[in-house]
Structure 1
Amino acid sequence: MVQGVKIVDGFILNNDPATGDPIDPPVAVTTPSELVDVIAKANAAQVAWGDLPLAERIALLRKGAAAVEPIAQELTEMITKEMGKISSEAKLEVKNAIELKGLWLDMIQEANEDVKLGDGEAESVIVRDPLGVVVVIAPWNFPAGEIPLLALPALGAGNTVIVKPSEVAPRTGALYVSALASALPDGVLQVVQGDGSVGEQLVSSDDVHMIAMTGSSATGKRIMEKSAKNLKRLVLELGGKDPMVVFADADLDKAAEDAVANSVFNAGQVCCAVERIYIEKSVKAEFEQKVVDLAKKQKVGIPTEEGVTMGPMVSQMQLEIVKNQVKDSIANGAKKLYESDVPEGGGNFFPVTVLTDLTQDMLIQKTETFGPVIAMSAFDGTEEDAVKLANDTEYGLASYVYTGDLVKASRVARKIKSGQVGINCYSLIAAQPKCPWIGHKGSGFGSHSGMDGFRSFSVPKSLVYTTSAPL
């Protein structure tokens, strides 16, 4: 059982996190024998799929991606029902997955094309070999948006793919995969359902050749252990404890707006959410007041209701994690500056919460929160202190630097150990499509997205010719 989901008599039973009502019908868990058949089918289909010319694979993927468009509204509603995301955010997730597909597939094709080298006595061609069968383990916080980020480059490279959606959002994942698979040959893209035991069987199989997963760092470590025996290729996008540094010369209104918005987006359940805010002490009080004023504009409620800006946490279990971190911080000296109202009755609602005077030894500064907490503390204003505090974590996914001095921003950003640094912006939204998405330290292994990430799903091979064997 993960995140409070129950599996009873071979079926996944989960509830609407806003109302507590059961979501029907239950979803059947894929049995161990069925998993063996799915893996065998994927291996059987891979040879022909991998032999298709790259352009033909991409053309079929375009048809499959287009088949997602007619179910956009159904996907949007299911995201809200399964994980509590407000309607506008769910709609944006689906919109991005649909509208970016063309650009992604152009880049995936470019990433897998042959590269010719040399013009003298020896010439070479770098080709890319598929790995075989790739398992995609999808997260619950972006149950439609994350699947194409991993599945499309894997398929484009000539692999067959098995997707296991999160058991928290099984119907959303199945809807997306079914639409995409409708244009592909049988066995090229399949979906299985279940909890960690299903994922473990997939990861442990000698007939699976790569794992691509978005999820927690703890799960990522277990996958690495299971994959070590036969050196499976891995792409693991894991957790974060992402810092935001605000210097006194920053646009404080913009910094405060981004701090609040990117702490509570998706109820804070985002791997690159702003989780630690360090404010130059000379402007700390001014910045705190701006943050509180903005936090008061947030409305927590039923995600489909008009005017609601934040829905529930995905589960009671996730709510308790956040509640315990806030309670611990206050018990150890932190100050609560604001706490919003939440709906009465059922539902996993947690208030938008503003904390300050946090210290590095507090649980909330060390452990991923994944909740709607705006967590602030001061730094002395020097670049050295800013970098030291930002790097004081086992994670390294994203970070944010706000200052009016772009030269200073660049110096600080280059010294922060994270895969993405947003300078006066939120990198998840503002990054160019060719930027890879990668985690340093405990935040990941390998990368997805961008040209670097899209090449992670194949292996380069050099064909070397001499002048006696021309191209």
Structure 2
Amino acid sequence: MATTVQTSTSTDQSDRHYIDGRVVAATGAEGLAVTDPATGQERGSVVPATEEEVAAAVAAAHGTRAMWRATPPPERAAALRRAAAAVRAEAGRLGELLAATTGRLLSQSTESAAVAADLLEEAATSGLGPAGRTLAGSASAIDAVRREPHGVVAVITPWNDPFPAAAGLLAAALVTGNTVVHKPSERSALPGFEMGRIIAEALPPGVLNVLTGDGRSGTAITTDERVALVAHVGSTTAGQRIAAAAGARGGRVLLENGGKDPVVVDAGVEPAWAAQQIALGAFVNTGQLCTSVERVYLHADVADAVVAELVALADRMVVGPPTEPATEIGPLVDERQLEVVARHVRDAAEAGARVLVGGRRLDRPGSYFPPTVLDGCTADMALMREETFGPVAAVTRVTTFDEALDLAGSGRYGLAATVLTPDLGHALRAVEELEVGTVKVNAVFGGAPGGSADPRRDSGMGPGYGPDLLSAMTVLKTVHLEPARTARS
């Protein structure tokens, strides 16, 4: 049985916005209760932005767009470097806020704030790269393609890894000359607002505006005609609503949405190593990452050994509050998420899957669900089709690599996939055949800087990071210039 420890956190109130260079009190009458995931107790509330507050934030961004566009790129980059330094200096406090709000481990929360600072700094450098290209035309003319900012960009980000998700999009939008209205998720409103405010204070007033809000606030942002591009990281359902609302008025969207990432374990791999990779992918951040491993396909030759190792790893993991140094698995973000995880596991067990470890919420206050391993899962189970977003490794046994590859490539999502194999031919086939944004071979996490990926199917559209994100934050304009014919005296 997984070990548990206990503690508690303080209370917060998220009732402010940052509009046109200043913090303003929220005027909405209705607050959304915020529950401490470690104790189950109410710890504050979020006051969503009203339509009037959204309009004020968009107006501020719209009013400063010409000024920010005309600001020389090195000056925009310098502002981002100041923002990066400020975020890095506050990484400890931001980490504490994130851990208290979402249940993410304190060490990981602080590290994610530092990663956000790194992304701001990286954009300050990469954003000064080529801003267009020249064309081979007539010797008597100049032909070029310019990259120009969209104008006002809405950045709507999730609760599960809010600092890097927001920082990457904000940095790319800002360094390329866009102004921004940013709405963090209401489930991580306070840490999201605080990081957004810190970044905004390094910029001229109106360039970055930060709103606390819920889906209604997001709808008001995405339907505003002055918002040229909406960049969203979050659930598929929310992404589809955003795409429909923005598309109806001709707005553009960038979406990184849900995932149901598979890992394929081929014959010939070392079982203990494979189990460690699966546990890392399935259990880190309590399984609440977009690229968490949610489907496990094990070749029959190694399945028994891998499952035994995986169960042993899960059983030894320490489940407890995010602030305790010994904790390896924190609480789920809230009861709503725990109910999804519990339902998926329960329904799979009733349909014939075997729960080998975990499988039930812990009998203690807070939204705790232990690391769970199920064997004998089938493709028709919700656990294998719908996003679970919890610490669950759902195992299906296969007899061939072909079968595993077919199953891994199935379903509505196409965010990422992992293949563990000693066979180079199998690795190359996976890279070629898996229709997902990212394929990882022999490592569930990792990768060099400078990559970009387009999610497939219900996982979204458009690059969510890297140099191609910078390009997506701009629009193209072709210029053809010839000398004028002058009057002759």
User: Is the pair's TM-score, using the shorter chain for normalization, greater than 0.5?
Assistant: yes
Q: CA deviation at 1:117?
A: 3.4
Give the superposed CA RMSD: 2.1
Distance of 2:77 and 2:303 partners within structure 1: 52
User: In structure 1, which of residues 15, 18, 22 is the aligned counterpart of residue 38 of structure 2?
Assistant: 18
Partner of 1:242: 261
User: In structure 2, which of residues 454, 459, 463 is the aligned counterpart of residue 443 of structure 1?
Assistant: 459
Say if 2:166 is the partner of 1:147. Answer: yes
Partner of 1:216: 235
**Which amino acid counterpart does residue 190 of structure 2 have in structure 1?**
R
State the SS of the aligned residue for 2:153. strand
Does the C-alpha gap of structure 1 residues 71 and 281 become closer, same or farther in structure 2, counting only changes over 3 Å? same
Say if 2:223 is the partner of 1:204. Answer: yes
Please show how residues 152-301 of structure 1 align to structure 2 within 5 Å: 152-301=171-320
Partner of 2:439: 421
Distance of 2:304 and 2:134 partners within structure 1: 59
Contact 1:396 1:440 in 2 (8 A): yes
Say if 2:470 is the partner of 1:454. Answer: yes
Distance of 1:259 and 1:69 partners within structure 2: 31
User: In structure 1, which of residues 56, 59, 72 is the aligned counterpart of residue 78 of structure 2?
Assistant: 59
Q: CA deviation at 1:239?
A: 0.4
Partner of 2:410: 392
TM-score, scaled to structure 2: 0.90
State the SS of the aligned residue for 1:430. coil
Please show how residues 91-102 of structure 1 align to structure 2 within 5 Å: 91-102=110-121
**Which amino acid counterpart does residue 420 of structure 1 have in structure 2?**
T
Contact 1:17 1:83 in 2 (8 A): yes
Does the C-alpha gap of structure 1 residues 255 and 468 become closer, same or farther in structure 2, counting only changes over 3 Å? farther
**Which amino acid counterpart does residue 172 of structure 1 have in structure 2?**
P
State the SS of the aligned residue for 1:310. coil
**Structure 1 residues 381-414: Cα deviation after superposition (integer angstroms, max 9, x where no partner):** 23x3122101121000000011112232011221
| Stretch moving more, 90-99 or 321-330 | 90-99
Please show how residues 123-142 of structure 1 align to structure 2 within 5 Å: 123-142=142-161
Distance of 1:70 and 1:435 partners within structure 2: 27
State the SS of the aligned residue for 1:376. strand
**Which amino acid counterpart does residue 205 of structure 2 have in structure 1?**
D
Distance of 2:179 and 2:31 partners within structure 1: 26
Distance of 1:159 and 1:99 partners within structure 2: 20
User: In structure 2, which of residues 333, 340, 353 is the aligned counterpart of residue 314 of structure 1?
Assistant: 333
Contact 1:300 1:341 in 2 (8 A): no
Q: CA deviation at 1:109?
A: 2.4
Q: CA deviation at 1:64?
A: 1.8
Please show how residues 372-411 of structure 1 align to structure 2 within 5 Å: 372-382=391-401, 384-411=402-429
Q: CA deviation at 1:354?
A: 0.6
Distance of 1:129 and 1:312 partners within structure 2: 44
Aligned residues: 460
Q: Percent same amino acid among aligned pairs?
A: 33
**Structure 1 residues 11-69: Cα deviation after superposition (integer angstroms, max 9, x where no partner):** 33202110123334x44322211211111111001110011122221111211222112
Contact 1:437 1:449 in 2 (8 A): yes
Say if 2:345 is the partner of 1:329. Answer: no
Partner of 2:96: 77
| Stretch moving more, 112-121 or 165-174 | 112-121
**Structure 1 residues 110-142: Cα deviation after superposition (integer angstroms, max 9, x where no partner):** 2x5232333762542221111111111110101
Distance of 2:126 and 2:393 partners within structure 1: 36
Contact 2:32 2:47 in 1 (8 A): yes
**Which amino acid counterpart does residue 19 of structure 1 have in structure 2?**
T
Distance of 2:270 and 2:127 partners within structure 1: 38
Distance of 1:418 and 1:228 partners within structure 2: 24
State the SS of the aligned residue for 1:194. coil
Distance of 1:197 and 1:6 partners within structure 2: 16
TM-score, scaled to structure 1: 0.93
Partner of 1:346: 365
Instruction: List alignment gaps of at least 5 residues for structure 2.
Output: 1-12, 16-27
